Chain A
Amino acid sequence: DSGVTQTPKHLITATGQRVTLRCSPRSGDLSVYWYQQSLDQGLQFLIQYYNGEERAKGNILERFSAQQFPDLHSELNLSSLELGDSALYFCASSVAGGNNEQFFGPGTRLTVL
Protein backbone atom coordinates (compact mmCIF):
# COMPACT_ATOMS: atom_id res chain seq x y z
CA ASP A 1 0.00 0.00 0.00
CA SER A 2 1.53 3.27 -1.19
CA GLY A 3 -0.52 5.47 1.12
CA VAL A 4 -2.11 7.26 -1.83
CA THR A 5 -5.84 6.71 -2.11
CA GLN A 6 -8.06 7.25 -5.13
CA THR A 7 -11.81 7.11 -5.50
CA PRO A 8 -13.76 5.74 -7.16
CA LYS A 9 -12.01 2.58 -8.28
CA HIS A 10 -14.21 2.19 -11.34
CA LEU A 11 -16.38 4.67 -13.18
CA ILE A 12 -18.68 3.94 -16.09
CA THR A 13 -20.39 6.83 -17.78
CA ALA A 14 -21.72 8.02 -21.10
CA THR A 15 -20.29 10.34 -23.72
CA GLY A 16 -20.87 13.99 -23.00
CA GLN A 17 -20.98 13.52 -19.25
CA ARG A 18 -18.74 15.00 -16.56
CA VAL A 19 -16.95 13.09 -13.80
CA THR A 20 -14.72 13.91 -10.86
CA LEU A 21 -11.84 11.73 -9.73
CA ARG A 22 -10.49 12.18 -6.24
CA CYS A 23 -7.03 11.63 -4.79
CA SER A 24 -5.63 11.82 -1.27
CA PRO A 25 -1.83 11.98 -1.17
CA ARG A 26 0.42 10.34 1.35
CA SER A 27 0.57 12.11 4.65
CA GLY A 28 3.06 14.96 4.41
CA ASP A 29 3.38 14.96 0.62
CA LEU A 30 2.79 18.38 -0.89
CA SER A 31 3.03 17.45 -4.57
CA VAL A 32 0.26 15.67 -6.43
CA TYR A 33 0.54 14.43 -10.01
CA TRP A 34 -2.10 13.08 -12.36
CA TYR A 35 -1.28 10.58 -15.09
CA GLN A 36 -3.38 8.88 -17.74
CA GLN A 37 -2.66 5.33 -18.86
CA SER A 38 -4.17 4.08 -22.09
CA LEU A 39 -3.27 1.37 -24.55
CA ASP A 40 -2.47 3.74 -27.38
CA GLN A 41 -0.82 6.59 -25.44
CA GLY A 42 0.89 4.70 -22.64
CA LEU A 43 1.51 6.58 -19.40
CA GLN A 44 1.13 10.30 -19.92
CA PHE A 45 1.60 13.09 -17.43
CA LEU A 46 -1.41 15.36 -17.16
CA ILE A 47 -0.84 17.92 -14.44
CA GLN A 48 1.02 18.60 -11.20
CA TYR A 49 0.03 20.58 -8.12
CA TYR A 50 2.29 21.66 -5.32
CA ASN A 51 0.78 22.86 -2.06
CA GLY A 52 -2.37 24.05 -3.75
CA GLU A 53 -0.84 25.68 -6.79
CA GLU A 54 -0.50 24.38 -10.31
CA ARG A 55 3.16 23.54 -10.97
CA ALA A 56 3.21 21.97 -14.41
CA LYS A 57 0.91 20.94 -17.20
CA GLY A 58 1.39 18.10 -19.62
CA ASN A 59 -0.83 16.62 -22.27
CA ILE A 60 -4.02 17.65 -20.56
CA LEU A 61 -7.04 18.44 -22.68
CA GLU A 62 -8.93 21.69 -22.20
CA ARG A 63 -11.96 19.62 -21.22
CA PHE A 64 -9.99 18.40 -18.21
CA SER A 65 -9.16 20.44 -15.13
CA ALA A 66 -7.78 19.78 -11.69
CA GLN A 67 -7.32 21.43 -8.35
CA GLN A 68 -5.63 20.79 -5.04
CA PHE A 69 -7.43 21.79 -1.89
CA PRO A 70 -6.05 23.21 1.39
CA ASP A 71 -6.08 19.72 2.93
CA LEU A 72 -3.89 18.68 -0.04
CA HIS A 73 -6.35 16.28 -1.60
CA SER A 74 -6.82 16.75 -5.32
CA GLU A 75 -9.60 16.32 -7.81
CA LEU A 76 -9.42 15.77 -11.55
CA ASN A 77 -12.50 16.90 -13.44
CA LEU A 78 -13.21 15.44 -16.86
CA SER A 79 -16.03 16.97 -18.88
CA SER A 80 -17.71 16.45 -22.25
CA LEU A 81 -16.39 12.93 -22.13
CA GLU A 82 -15.53 11.10 -25.32
CA LEU A 83 -14.97 7.42 -25.97
CA GLY A 84 -11.24 8.07 -26.23
CA ASP A 85 -11.12 9.31 -22.65
CA SER A 86 -11.55 5.75 -21.42
CA ALA A 87 -8.36 5.00 -19.53
CA LEU A 88 -6.78 4.40 -16.16
CA TYR A 89 -6.16 7.62 -14.29
CA PHE A 90 -3.45 7.57 -11.67
CA CYS A 91 -2.66 10.02 -8.96
CA ALA A 92 0.81 10.12 -7.44
CA SER A 93 2.34 12.13 -4.65
CA SER A 94 5.83 13.00 -3.48
CA VAL A 95 7.50 15.05 -0.81
CA ALA A 96 8.38 18.59 -1.74
CA GLY A 97 10.94 19.14 -4.46
CA GLY A 98 14.12 17.30 -5.24
CA ASN A 99 14.40 13.91 -6.85
CA ASN A 100 12.14 12.02 -4.55
CA GLU A 101 10.22 9.12 -5.97
CA GLN A 102 6.52 9.42 -6.62
CA PHE A 103 4.10 7.08 -4.93
CA PHE A 104 1.14 6.02 -7.01
CA GLY A 105 -2.42 5.33 -6.05
CA PRO A 106 -4.34 2.28 -7.30
CA GLY A 107 -5.95 4.30 -10.08
CA THR A 108 -9.46 4.98 -11.31
CA ARG A 109 -10.59 3.04 -14.33
CA LEU A 110 -12.85 5.22 -16.43
CA THR A 111 -15.04 3.66 -19.09
CA VAL A 112 -16.95 5.97 -21.40
CA LEU A 113 -19.76 4.27 -23.32
Chain B
Amino acid sequence: AQSVAQPEDQVNVAEGNPLTVKCTYSVSGNPYLFWYVQYPNRGLQFLLKYITGDNLVKGSYGFEAEFNKSQTSFHLKKPSAIVSDSALYFCAVRDKRGATNKLIFGTGTLLAVQP
Protein backbone atom coordinates (compact mmCIF):
# COMPACT_ATOMS: atom_id res chain seq x y z
CA ALA B 1 0.00 0.00 0.00
CA GLN B 2 1.14 3.49 -0.71
CA SER B 3 1.50 5.75 2.28
CA VAL B 4 3.37 8.56 3.94
CA ALA B 5 4.25 8.87 7.59
CA GLN B 6 4.90 11.96 9.63
CA PRO B 7 6.43 10.66 12.83
CA GLU B 8 6.12 13.88 14.83
CA ASP B 9 2.76 15.29 15.86
CA GLN B 10 4.42 18.56 16.84
CA VAL B 11 7.73 20.29 16.27
CA ASN B 12 8.83 23.21 18.39
CA VAL B 13 11.56 25.56 17.24
CA ALA B 14 12.80 28.98 18.27
CA GLU B 15 12.55 31.83 15.83
CA GLY B 16 15.72 32.15 13.79
CA ASN B 17 16.65 28.50 14.19
CA PRO B 18 16.54 25.99 11.35
CA LEU B 19 13.50 23.76 11.19
CA THR B 20 12.89 20.26 9.90
CA VAL B 21 9.55 18.51 9.53
CA LYS B 22 9.98 14.83 8.80
CA CYS B 23 8.21 12.66 6.25
CA THR B 24 8.86 9.11 5.10
CA TYR B 25 7.09 7.35 2.30
CA SER B 26 6.21 3.88 1.16
CA VAL B 27 5.38 3.50 -2.52
CA SER B 28 6.10 1.15 -5.37
CA GLY B 29 8.21 2.71 -8.06
CA ASN B 30 9.23 6.34 -8.14
CA PRO B 31 7.29 8.54 -5.72
CA TYR B 32 5.65 11.85 -6.50
CA LEU B 33 5.79 13.79 -3.24
CA PHE B 34 4.22 17.01 -2.05
CA TRP B 35 4.21 19.32 0.96
CA TYR B 36 1.23 21.43 1.92
CA VAL B 37 0.68 23.87 4.77
CA GLN B 38 -2.60 24.61 6.53
CA TYR B 39 -3.10 27.76 8.56
CA PRO B 40 -5.95 27.90 11.11
CA ASN B 41 -9.36 27.95 9.48
CA ARG B 42 -7.84 27.93 6.03
CA GLY B 43 -7.46 25.49 3.18
CA LEU B 44 -4.25 23.73 2.29
CA GLN B 45 -1.60 25.70 0.46
CA PHE B 46 0.89 24.03 -1.85
CA LEU B 47 4.53 24.48 -0.82
CA LEU B 48 6.58 22.27 -3.11
CA LYS B 49 6.76 18.96 -4.92
CA TYR B 50 9.27 16.36 -6.02
CA ILE B 51 8.64 14.52 -9.24
CA THR B 52 12.09 13.85 -10.62
CA GLY B 53 15.48 15.48 -10.96
CA ASP B 54 17.40 17.36 -8.29
CA ASN B 55 16.94 15.86 -4.84
CA LEU B 56 16.75 19.32 -3.25
CA VAL B 57 13.49 21.01 -4.11
CA LYS B 58 12.87 24.67 -3.38
CA GLY B 59 9.38 25.94 -2.70
CA SER B 60 7.34 28.83 -1.40
CA TYR B 61 8.12 31.01 1.63
CA GLY B 62 11.77 29.91 1.81
CA PHE B 63 10.97 26.24 2.35
CA GLU B 64 12.86 23.41 0.72
CA ALA B 65 12.71 19.64 0.89
CA GLU B 66 15.27 16.96 0.39
CA PHE B 67 14.33 13.76 -1.36
CA ASN B 68 16.36 10.77 -0.13
CA LYS B 69 15.62 7.58 -1.99
CA SER B 70 17.76 5.30 0.17
CA GLN B 71 16.04 6.49 3.34
CA THR B 72 12.64 6.86 1.64
CA SER B 73 12.34 10.32 3.16
CA PHE B 74 11.22 13.75 2.02
CA HIS B 75 11.90 16.09 4.93
CA LEU B 76 10.78 19.71 4.81
CA LYS B 77 13.36 22.28 5.87
CA LYS B 78 13.86 25.98 6.34
CA PRO B 79 17.16 27.60 7.32
CA SER B 80 15.62 30.19 9.65
CA ALA B 81 12.15 29.85 11.13
CA ILE B 82 9.81 32.79 11.67
CA VAL B 83 6.76 32.97 13.93
CA SER B 84 4.36 33.07 10.99
CA ASP B 85 5.61 29.64 9.88
CA SER B 86 3.56 28.23 12.75
CA ALA B 87 0.96 26.02 11.08
CA LEU B 88 0.01 22.44 10.30
CA TYR B 89 2.18 20.78 7.66
CA PHE B 90 1.14 17.83 5.55
CA CYS B 91 3.28 15.53 3.46
CA ALA B 92 1.49 13.73 0.63
CA VAL B 93 2.21 11.21 -2.07
CA ARG B 94 0.37 10.87 -5.33
CA ASP B 95 -1.49 7.61 -5.66
CA LYS B 96 -0.16 6.09 -8.86
CA ARG B 97 -2.69 3.28 -9.05
CA GLY B 98 -5.12 3.61 -11.91
CA ALA B 99 -5.89 6.88 -13.65
CA THR B 100 -6.25 9.02 -10.56
CA ASN B 101 -4.02 11.81 -9.34
CA LYS B 102 -5.42 11.67 -5.84
CA LEU B 103 -3.16 12.49 -2.92
CA ILE B 104 -2.55 10.31 0.11
CA PHE B 105 -1.78 12.53 3.07
CA GLY B 106 0.19 12.00 6.22
CA THR B 107 -1.33 12.76 9.59
CA GLY B 108 0.17 16.22 9.74
CA THR B 109 2.80 17.90 11.92
CA LEU B 110 2.03 21.00 13.93
CA LEU B 111 4.92 23.42 13.76
CA ALA B 112 5.18 25.91 16.59
CA VAL B 113 7.76 28.66 16.26
CA GLN B 114 8.47 30.48 19.50
CA PRO B 115 9.52 34.14 19.39
A residues adjacent to B (C-beta < 8 A)? 2, 4, 31, 33, 42-43, 45, 48, 55-56, 58, 90, 92, 94, 97-107
Residue contact B45 to A2, C-beta cutoff 8 Å: yes
Number of interface residues of B (CB under 8 A): 24
Taking a contact as CB atoms closer than 8 A, the residue among A56, A92, A103 that contacts B100 in the complex is: A56
Q: With a 10 A CB-CB cut-off, give which of B42, B43, B90 has the most chain A CB atoms.
A: B43
Instruction: For B42, give the chain A residue with the smallest CB separation.
Output: A106
A/B pair count, beta carbons within 8 Å: 58
Q: A42-B105, A58-B102, A104-B44 are in contact. List 9 more A-B contacts (CB 8 A).
A: A2-B43, A43-B90, A43-B108, A48-B102, A56-B99, A90-B43, A101-B46, A101-B49, A106-B43
- What is the CA–CA distance of A48 and B104 in the complex, to the nearest angstrom? 13
- What is the CA–CA distance of A107 and B45 in the complex, to the nearest angstrom? 12
With an 8 A cutoff between CB atoms, is B107 at the interface? yes
Residue contact B43 to A45, C-beta cutoff 8 Å: no
- What is the CA–CA distance of A90 and B49 in the complex, to the nearest angstrom? 20
